[in-house]
Amino acid sequence: MASPEPVAPPRRSRGAPALPATSVVFPGDERTAAALISAAVEVMAVHGYHGTSVRDIAAAAGVSPAVLYHHFASKQGLLATVLDRGMDVLVRATEEALYAAPDDPAARLEAIVGVHVRVHLESQRESLLGNSELRALEAGALALVVARRDTQQRMFDRVVRDGCARGVFTTPHPDDASRMITSACTAVAAWYRPGGPLTGDEIVARYQRVALDTVGYAPVGEPASGSSAQRFGGAGGER
């Protein structure tokens, strides 16, 4: 690999290693640490943790392999940082969406489904990593990430159960429907390709809509004849 660059000498002007900007890079991070995190997400999402070497990550970040150990305890520590931050971003975004949503089961479900799908669309590589490389985490870091994942699932469970208790959702299996929704939304990161026929907004809207069907959404006050389809889709040409 590492082919010679045809133009522009590899001279690095010091302290500007590579392109940052990922959802797991936080504003307070040092430049090189941010570049390493970003590079790790990029490369590990493709080849996996064990399929990616420290040299691969360092090369993608534009630094020497040894630099990694000045910013992280180990390759494992870098993975732990990425996964922990990724789950943190997801949970926080979901919490905020839930907090801002009105006291209505359908609106709440739409809110958290929207956030969940959007995060998995926009932070696709981080999500992919978080879903496939948990097994590469050592016990301590794994417990932290799993705890956050449970928190995320619990938020969905609560919304669906509440909707059922109020009679707005009619599914006889709230917890299973809830898990099926999160599973389906999480899987978006596995198939979505940025150049596809649907925009992110369209995908989000569709998943929100189908998720409401999944929980058996039946608006209160109206017994609703036929199906619940009429209550939806005021605007927009569906296809």
Partner DNA sequence: CCGGGGGTTGAACGATCGTTCGGCACAGGG
Partner DNA sequence: CCCTGTGCCGAACGATCGTTCAACCCCCGG
Residues interacting with DNA, by CB under 7 A? Answer: 12, 14-15, 17, 30-32, 52-56, 62-71, 74-76
Q: If contact means CB under 5 to 8 A according to the sort of partner, which of a second copy, DNA, none does residue 55 touch?
A: DNA
Contacts with 143 (C-beta within 8 Å, 6 or more apart), sequence order: none
Number of Cβ within a 10 Å radius of residue 209: 17
Q: Containing H/E element for 137? A: none
The residue to which tokens 């995320």 are assigned: 152
Nearer Cβ to a second copy, position 10 or 236? 236
Give the three-state DSSP class for 180. helix
Nearer Cβ to a second copy, position 144 or 232? 232
Q: If contact means CB under 5 to 8 A according to the sort of partner, which of DNA, a second copy, none does residue 151 touch?
A: none
Nearer Cβ to a second copy, position 158 or 209? 209
For residue 125, the number of C-alpha atoms closer than 13 Å in the C-beta half-sphere is 20
Does residue 163 contact residue 157 with C-beta atoms inside 8 Å? no
Cα–Cα distance, 19 to 104 (Å, whole number):
42
Does residue 98 contact residue 111 with C-beta atoms inside 8 Å? yes
Q: If contact means CB under 5 to 8 A according to the sort of partner, which of a second copy, DNA, none does residue 46 touch?
A: a second copy
**Contact positions vs a second copy (CB under 8 A):** 46-51, 132, 135-136, 170-173, 176-177, 179-181, 183-184, 186-187, 190-191, 203, 206-207, 209-210, 213-216, 218, 223-229, 232-233, 238
How buried is 105 (Cβ within 10 angstroms: 0-12 exposed, 13-18 middle, 19+ buried)?
buried
Helices (H) and strands (E) in the chain, counts: 10, 0
Q: End-to-end alpha-carbon separation of the chain, Å?
A: 46
Q: If contact means CB under 5 to 8 A according to the sort of partner, which of DNA, a second copy, none does residue 226 touch?
A: a second copy
CB of 175 to DNA, least distance (A): 39
CB of 19 to a second copy, least distance (A): 23
Q: If contact means CB under 5 to 8 A according to the sort of partner, which of a second copy, DNA, none does residue 144 touch?
A: none
Number of Cβ within a 10 Å radius of residue 140: 8
CB of 203 to a second copy, least distance (A): 8
Question: Token digits for 159?
Answer: 């919304």
Cα–Cα distance, 82 to 126 (Å, whole number):
8
Q: If contact means CB under 5 to 8 A according to the sort of partner, which of a second copy, DNA, none does residue 121 touch?
A: none
CB of 90 to a second copy, least distance (A): 16
CB of 12 to DNA, least distance (A): 5
Nearer Cβ to a second copy, position 28 or 197? 197
CB of 51 to a second copy, least distance (A): 4
